[in-house]
Amino acid sequence: MDCLFCKIATKQIPSQKVYEDKDVYAFKDIHPVAPVHIIVIPKIHIESINDITERNSKEVQRIFELIPKIAKIAMVDRKGYRVITNIGEDGGQTIKHLHFHIIGGKKLGDKLI
């Protein structure tokens, strides 16, 4: 499958690793919107939240267990941060592999849209 984030997870494309285990990979966003901007992905290909099922939800659970740990590694856990996942065209999803943005390191804006 021709998926950029699958290639990043398997190291066919280089990235700046923040965290990795057998199920999850976290790396720095190439175009950070804040001092801390990390992308967290499951290593298995899931297109978006729309494709979470009983068969793959364990990987998603794992990501949510790890987000506070990754936030701690990035030293944004105490002051706070934002977790965003975009879904589909209107949601602004450009890479069709489920991912969660961890954004922080500064006081973020108060706009949701």
Structure letter (DSSP) for residue 85:
-
Q: Which of residues 1-60 bind ligand 5GP (CB under 6 A)?
A: 4, 15, 27-31, 39
108 contacts ligand 5GP (rule: CB under 6 A): no
Catalytically annotated residue among 31, 37, 97, 99: 99
Query: Residue 45: which of ligand 5GP, Zn ion, none does it interact with, CB under 5 to 8 A by kind?
Result: Zn ion
What residues between 32 and 71 interact with Zn ion by CB under 5 A? Answer: 45
Residue 95 lies near Zn ion (rule: CB under 5 A) = no
CA–CA distance from 55 to each of 1, 51, 71, 80 (Å)?
Answer: 20, 10, 27, 32
37 is known as an active-site residue: no
Element (H, E) at 4: helix 4-9
From the number of C-beta atoms within 10 Å of its C-beta (0-12, 13-18, 19+), residue 110 rates as exposed
Residues making contact with ligand 5GP (CB under 6 A): 4, 15, 27-31, 39, 86, 92-95
